[in-house]
Structure 1
Amino acid sequence: MTTALIVIDVQKGFDDPYWGKRDNPDAEANIKALLDAWQERRQPIVLVHHDSTKPDSPLRPGQEGNDFQSILDGVRADLVFGKKVNSAFHGDVDLDGWLKTRGITSIVIAGIQTNMCCETTSRVGGNLGYDVTFALDATYTFDLEGLTAGQLSEATATNLRGGGFAKVVTTKELL
């Protein structure tokens, strides 16, 4: 079975202090391990970047922060596109159509931020009928509204599992 790896918003702008304290310092290594495995198996890889419309965001197009982080250098991506909202299914490309045209019914989600774009893409993917696997340790997020990044990541895992949107796994379990 063909499974697409969808890597969301792994951009330099998330290194900016603008975001605050993050969790999961191993996320980049886990994302890289997934990318390496997908490239070795010649499975489809989709890279998505967030093109913020907010004037103070480090993720605005034309800013260095909009560029992908170095762990994506040399990655053989089958599809690369931008989005302005949380879901990769609502980006500059019809991701659902792209996947269906290739007969892909199974996706793995990794990237930044766990509780924002990664969770939203997983929920929409689940709603569209995809078999979604969420590599929790290949994501990270930031403290928000009095909750720690770790608490938000756990809430995402609960939301996705409990809501039936995705199977939540570690990178090791996935590989």
Structure 2
Amino acid sequence: MRSDLPALIIIDMQKAMANPAAGQRNNPDAAERIARLLAAWRAADAPVVHVRHISRTPGSLFWPGQAGVQFQDALAPLPSEHVVEKNVPDAFIHSTLERWLRVRGIERIVMAGVSTNNSVEGSARSAGNLGFDTTVVADACFAFACTDYAGQARSADEVHAMALANLNGEYATISDSASVLRALTGM
């Protein structure tokens, strides 16, 4: 594994995210883009981390033992790839992620996954605060429609865009998969 390349961190790409019960989402091609990123990282022998959410709420799609907890088949980790389990949105809280990166001298990370406004945003904020050079791949993330605090329905695109705006420049650089792939292959 080449620690001189950024680590690809794939967040919560589990079978539950493909369940219609998860809600209306944006970026329908995000999983395909994540798969392309994953293939490129593997070809470059660059570090890959898969993050899996394990819920503490009975009945959740992510409750242990549910089919939804499993990684999506196309994005399943190889035995050589690191897996981090989390119980809260932020992949750095109560996990070994920061230590795993630091021990390997990895200072740059690229994040993709779901959901943009929850686990991706929470993890990217921590990464930025911890001093990691963080890139979030906008078209390899997605969000779900929701209602805001004032009762206004917000589309998945709106939720996604606002989460990216919250991160841009302060915690992370926002990019797209084509640019990230060009940068990886150009290194």
Fold equivalence (TM over 0.5) = yes
Aligned to 1:165: 171
Do structure 1's residue 155 and structure 2's residue 162 form an aligned pair? yes
TM-score in terms of structure 2 length = 0.88
Kept after mapping to 2: 8 A contact 1:4/1:45: yes
For residues 76-106 of structure 1, what are the alpha-carbon distances to aligned partners after superposition, in whole Å with 9 as ceiling and x for unaligned?
A: 6531121000111014x32111111100000
Map 1:84-103 to 2 at 5 A. 84-91=87-94, 93-103=95-105
Q: Which moved more, 1:135-144 or 1:69-78?
A: 69-78
Kept after mapping to 2: 8 A contact 1:105/1:131: yes
**Aligned-partner Cα distance in 2 for 1:62–1:131:** 35
The AA in structure 1 aligned to 2:109 is: I
Kept after mapping to 1: 8 A contact 2:54/2:85: yes
Q: Secondary structure at the match of 2:34?
A: helix
**Aligned-partner Cα distance in 2 for 1:111–1:84:** 16
Aligned residues: 173
Aligned to 1:37: 40
For residues 2-55 of structure 1, what are the alpha-carbon distances to aligned partners after superposition, in whole Å with 9 as ceiling and x for unaligned?
A: 210000100001122222111101101110010001000000000010001112
**Aligned-partner Cα distance in 2 for 1:109–1:64:** 24
Unaligned runs of 5+ in 2: 148-152, 182-187
Aligned to 2:74: 71
Kept after mapping to 2: 8 A contact 1:47/1:77: no
Aligned to 1:7: 10
Would the alpha carbon gap of residues 29 and 110 (structure 1) be closer, same or farther in structure 2, given more than 3 Å must change? same
Runs of 4+ in 1 over 3 A off after TM superposition: 73-77
Unaligned runs of 5+ in 1: none
For residues 133-166 of structure 1, what are the alpha-carbon distances to aligned partners after superposition, in whole Å with 9 as ceiling and x for unaligned?
A: 000110111101111110011101111115x100
TM-score in terms of structure 1 length = 0.94
Would the alpha carbon gap of residues 11 and 74 (structure 1) be closer, same or farther in structure 2, given more than 3 Å must change? closer
Kept after mapping to 2: 8 A contact 1:30/1:138: yes
- Structure of larger gyration radius: 2
Kept after mapping to 2: 8 A contact 1:35/1:75: no
**Aligned-partner Cα distance in 1 for 2:161–2:77:** 32
* Alpha-carbon RMSD: 1.3
Q: Secondary structure at the match of 1:81?
A: strand
Kept after mapping to 2: 8 A contact 1:46/1:77: no
Match of 1:81 among 73, 81, 84: 84
Aligned to 2:141: 139
Provide the identity percentage: 39
Would the alpha carbon gap of residues 74 and 56 (structure 1) be closer, same or farther in structure 2, given more than 3 Å must change? closer
